[in-house]
Amino acid sequence: MNFLKRFARNRGALIGLIILVAVVLFAILAPSLYPQSPWRTVARPFLAPFMMERFPLGTDTLGRDIASGLAHGARVSLTIGLVSTIVALLIGVPLGAIAGYAGGFIDDALMRFTEFFQTIPSFALAIVLVAILQPKLGSIVLAIGVVSWPPVARLVRGEVLSLKTREYVQAAITIGQPTSRIIWSQILPNTIAPIIVMGSLMIGSAILLESSLSFLGLGDPNLMSWGYMVGAGRTRLLDAWWISFFPGVAIFLTVLALNLAGEGLNDALNPRLARERE
């Protein structure tokens, strides 16, 4: 039974994947669908959705096309989600691997360090980081990465702890492979599956985190993102619900899709678990 078949057996995962592909396509095609800047005023402000064919989702407080904002915002949200997850993995995976393999004092020290980050509310820390570093794309990615690596480190550590007692690792030690090589070529490849699953879920929470920051006005002011759109429209919620509603739906669908797909990945990559569940 191959991987794709196992993945497709999970209905939710399939739906999630379809939504995700649609969002990614939407993001990739944004510049050709909406060649104009999403910040440009194109019609009268507060145009309700479905009133004009050219602006199916209406316009916002300054007469900017919401559909165009959604498309360009998809690029920003997905990019930030992806890149900041990579940042988190780059911090979390090596730390977890070293801690798990070395054990003893190094393990203790690294885990206390991880816990230190876990005890600070991640959203508060992200706000502080962005406020100190000024709201820019780089600082937002960094802040999200910095607050979301601890679970990765713990996951990788656990995996490494169990893998390092396996025979093939013992064998590698016996034949005198250097430690770095053992971690890199014997252990880490076997932790890839749970990391991928966790990573896909992390993209979702990174998108949520970025949206929350933008909602509070801590987004990059030069980038149109979904969180910004929700935040900018919230004060007009009573008389122009659509300004916040559509980007809100976009965030909801994308994060949901990522979670469904992540769940499916988990099942597909861990067949024994999936079979037990049935």
Could you list the residues that contact another protein (CB under 8 A)?
37, 39-41, 45, 61-63, 131, 134-135, 217-218, 221-222, 232, 235-236, 239
Strand partners of residue 55: 52
**Closest Cα to residue 80, out of 193, 216, 197, 227?**
227
Q: Is 187 helix (H, G, I), strand (E, B) or coil?
A: helix
Q: Which is nearer to another protein, 131 or 196 (CB)?
A: 131
Q: Which is nearer to another protein, 61 or 170 (CB)?
A: 61
**CB-CB contact of 224 with 39 (8 Å):** yes
For residues 105 and 99, give the distance between their C-alpha atoms in angstroms, rounded to a whole number: 9
**Closest Cα to residue 269, out of 161, 168, 191, 205?**
191
Q: Which is nearer to another protein, 73 or 100 (CB)?
A: 73
For residues 153 and 110, give the distance between their C-alpha atoms in angstroms, rounded to a whole number: 9
Q: Which is nearer to another protein, 61 or 162 (CB)?
A: 61
Least Å distance between CB 51 and another protein? 18
Q: Which is nearer to another protein, 88 or 223 (CB)?
A: 223
3-class SS shares of the chain: helix, strand, coil, % to 5? 75, 0, 20
Q: Which is nearer to another protein, 37 or 162 (CB)?
A: 37
Centre a 10 Å sphere on the Cβ of residue 72 and count the other Cβ atoms it contains.
25
Least Å distance between CB 9 and another protein? 47
Q: Which is nearer to another protein, 3 or 39 (CB)?
A: 39
**CB-CB contact of 161 with 134 (8 Å):** no
For residues 130 and 137, give the distance between their C-alpha atoms in angstroms, rounded to a whole number: 10
Centre a 10 Å sphere on the Cβ of residue 242 and count the other Cβ atoms it contains.
20
Question: Position of tokens 């987004």?
Answer: 219
H helices within 103-191, ranges in order? 104-119, 122-133, 137-148, 150-163, 167-174, 179-181
Least Å distance between CB 238 and another protein? 8
Least Å distance between CB 235 and another protein? 6
Least Å distance between CB 117 and another protein? 25
Least Å distance between CB 82 and another protein? 24
Least Å distance between CB 222 and another protein? 5
